[in-house]
Structure 1
Amino acid sequence: MMNRLRQIADAVRAAGEMSVADLAELTAASEMTVRRDLEALAGQGVLERYRGGARSLLLRGEETPFALRVEEGVERKRRLAAEVAGLISDGEAVVVDGGTTCREVARALHGRRLTVMPLSLHTANALTGGARPTLLLPGGEARPGELGMVGPLAEASLAALRFDTAVVGCCGLTAADGLTAYDLPEASVKRAAMRASRRVIAVTEGAKLTRTALAHVADADALDLVVTDDTAPAAERAALEAAGTTVRIVPDA
């Protein structure tokens, strides 16, 4: 179902609006099923229903909602997360970003002897349920849907501490444009996390090494390591290495 919801959301976003009949043909689902899917997407703020169809509420530069991304490429995200977790030693103080891939990193760190500050409520939830790790929760305002913590309180929490490692996600990453995010407050919190950390690891699916989002977070050389998969374009991997960033490829299983 989640793949069909994403297919519908992407199609309506690309076209601006589409009819129920056209979406049923596109997805090979019944019109009744498509109507239920449109209701679900309307509830997430992705689109607006009208009689016989729907129009997109997502602008080109906006991120697809968390609920639609969370089940995409889960096994790949878990392999990336396991690789990142293996780079972190017991006893470290770690700040873990929001987003779906970083949530998998948080799950991979569950039970470890660490001190962790999660930067979203989704990430924090993945770390709860045991005595370890020790959690430090930032203040701030939770962004709707993403539940990432942003604003002056979140940034002040980060400025008061010093971490061994920051694990950051990204919306886009290229050698030319650096690490980018869709949201300006989110970009500011990422920068604060990076400033507070001795080592910065970016973890991202390879497709994002072809994208640039609105808000600049940092130049590529501010990243000590990029952990990605083998779908990352070879030319972009080489460009990042030339910019001074180490790129580690996690192959598909």
Structure 2
Amino acid sequence: MNQGQPGGAGFVRTALPPVVFGVAALLLWQWAVVAFEIKAFILPGPFLIGEEFAANLQNVINGMVVTGRNALIGLLVGAVLGILAAIIAALVPVSDEMGAPIVASISVVPIVALAPVLYTMFGAGAETARQIVAGLAVFVPVYFNTLKGLRQVRPVHRDLMRSYAASSWQATKTVTLPTATPYVFTGLRIASSLAVISALIAEYFGGPVGGLGKSITSSASSSNYGLAWAYVLGSILLGLLFYSAALALEKLVSRRSTG
């Protein structure tokens, strides 16, 4: 019993300050809205947002499912392509030199310009454009972080594997992948949030109705600002869910590799 107390106390010390700060910030926000009579179209209070969120919970969840599905597809496809491209670039330096300008170009393409073009190509009724936008946003950080990780292997470690007459796969499995794994997950953590943000923004410019982005714009255009912010809250929760999943996966892989 006593052995569990230090860990529990440590958790409380870690979790309590941000919770207290968050509650204080929300109360201060609500007080400012009431005290200064801030109109809802400028900034609704957290109580109003909470009421709208609870009253429209099913619609918010439905929007999270639509946006989350597109973000997840983009995350998976973009991550796989980013890792594969990084492996090729690490093995074939010429491909890295040739592909660097392309990756750099992808990283600076604005979603505002890309999404309408993709909707024209694939049709306004398809989710494909949103998934491609999310995939491109994911590809860049995963590619660069994976490539950086693959290049972290020290020459002395490679020489050691050669001295043991290890095959290329054995060297990769024993040295290269364990070294690169933390960098891969750094890219995935960054990409997990970018996937949600990109899919959400892409919804502003067309496509089927139902996602969080569409719901935010339609609520704001009908002057239902509390509901619009309720969908914003849903977007925040979705982003936190993706980030937490990436973090949990990283801890699971790290635990298994060290166990």
Select the structure that is richer in helix. Answer: 2
Instruction: Report the TM-score when normalising by structure 2.
Output: 0.22
Higher relative contact order (CA 8 A, sep 6+): 2
Select the structure that is richer in strand. Answer: 1
